Amino acid sequence: MELVGRPAMFRDELPGACFQNTLIRFRASEYMVPEYALQVFLNYLHSGQFQQVATRSVNIAHLGASRLARMHFPLAPLTEQRRIVSKIIAVTGQADDIRRNMERASRTVARLDQAVLARAFRGEL
C-alpha cells in the first residue's frame, strides 16, 4: 500500500511500448516541465498524499485517474519549475555523494574493526 502512486518518467526508451491499464499516464502540457511533474508526484508518494486518496480492496491500493485529477497540483511558472527541478537535482546529487561517502567510511570502519580484532587475537595489542 505504501507504494501506491509510484511515479516514473517514460522517455520512449522502448519505442512502441504498451502500458498496463493499472498505470496512470500523465502527460505534461506546454505549461509544465515534465521533470517538475515527476518531482511533485514523488513528493506526493513520500508524503503519503497518494495513500490518503487511494482506495483499498483485498490488500491492493488503487489511485485511479479520477482521484489523481482531483488532487491539488502546484503549478508554478515555467522558469520557477525549471529552477526547482535544477535545485532538486543538485541537492539529490549532493545527498547521493554523502551517502556513498558514508557507505565507504562504514566499510573502512568495518575493516579497521576486523584488523584490531585480528591483532588482539594474535596478542599484538
Please report, for residues 4, 21, 63, 98, the alpha-carbon distance to residue 25 in angstroms, rounded to integers and kept in the order given.
14, 9, 12, 34
Distance CA 34, CA 25 (A): 12
| pTM assigned to the model | 0.72
pLDDT over 60 at 1, yes or no: no
Give helix 78-121 / helix 34-47 axis angle, nearest 10°.
50
CB 64 within 8 A of CB 24: yes
Higher pLDDT: 12 or 101? It is: 101
Q: What is the pLDDT of residues 80-122, one digit of tens each?
A: 999 999 999 999 999 999 999 999 999 999 999 999 999 989 9
DSSP string, 47-107: HTHHHHH-EEETTEEE--HHHHHHS------HHHHHHHHHHHHHHHHHHHHHHHHHHHHHH
Three cell numbers written together for 73? 497540483
